[in-house]
Chains A and B, each alone.
Chain A
Amino acid sequence: QKEVEQDPGPLSVPEGAIVSLNCTYSNSAFQYFMWYRQYSRKGPELLMYTYSSGNKEDGRFTAQVDKSSKYISLFIRDSQPSDSATYLCAMIGGFKTIFGAGTRLFVKA
């Protein structure tokens, strides 16, 4: 079993939709959680960084962490074609960072 599981998609939604991206993990040592966005031919860009269980909001993006279920989510409201990218979850535990495989998102105009 992988330490971090992320559905690779692709996920295709119409413009304006609410997008939900998810990851599950198995290692309780993970205490810090990130979401990265990666456009084609670019490196991953940090979107959200959170520690505690609960929600963290930044503009149209909301990161949600449920440590009891070992489950994290990224919600994108009012999705735009410019949100089309690959989204990677990542987790830090014991000074080790593990990345999910990434979910490809397509937002259709």
Chain B
Amino acid sequence: SAVISQKPSRDICQRGTSLTIQCQVDSQVTMMFWYRQQPGQSLTLIATANQGSEATYESGFVIDKFPISRPNLTFSTLTVSNMSPEDSSIYLCSVVEGTGNQPQHFGDGTRLSIL
């Protein structure tokens, strides 16, 4: 399966700042997703990163807060803007290879703490 690298692996940021998380895949993939995972909770889908077009956001998530780029089939970024302590979480990138109902594969996540 695809190897997914996320950067940074962790960061501590100040309130009001922004952080961009990168997701790099070692092969071309059809779909890329961004999730948030709070401690002890399930994965919450933020958005689907669409290559060459705007991301598709889930209810409760907006582009101004979580702008996403996907310039090609192997790379995507998620920016967490104007951060507050409530944004402290683990952010995960996942990909689907091939087409149809294939399982997602995940990177190791970015652990973000906001002071």
Contacts and interface: CB of A to CB of B under 8 A. Distances in A.
B101 A44 contact: no
Interface stretch (B13-21, B67-75, B79-87, B106-114): B106-114
Nearest to B41: A101
B42 A102 contact: yes
Given A8-B40, A88-B42, A43 B108 contact: yes
B42 A92 contact: no
Task: Choose among B1, B41, B103 the residue with the greatest number of A CB atoms under 10 Å from its CB.
Answer: B103
B27 interface: no
A8 B41 CA distance: 9
Interface of B: 1, 4, 6, 40-43, 92, 94, 101, 103-109, 111
Given A42-B108, A88-B43, A100-B42, 20 more contacts: A8-B40, A32-B101, A36-B106, A41-B108, A41-B111, A43-B6, A43-B92, A43-B106, A43-B107, A43-B109, A45-B106, A46-B1, A46-B103, A46-B104, A92-B101, A95-B101, A97-B104, A99-B42, A102-B40, A102-B42
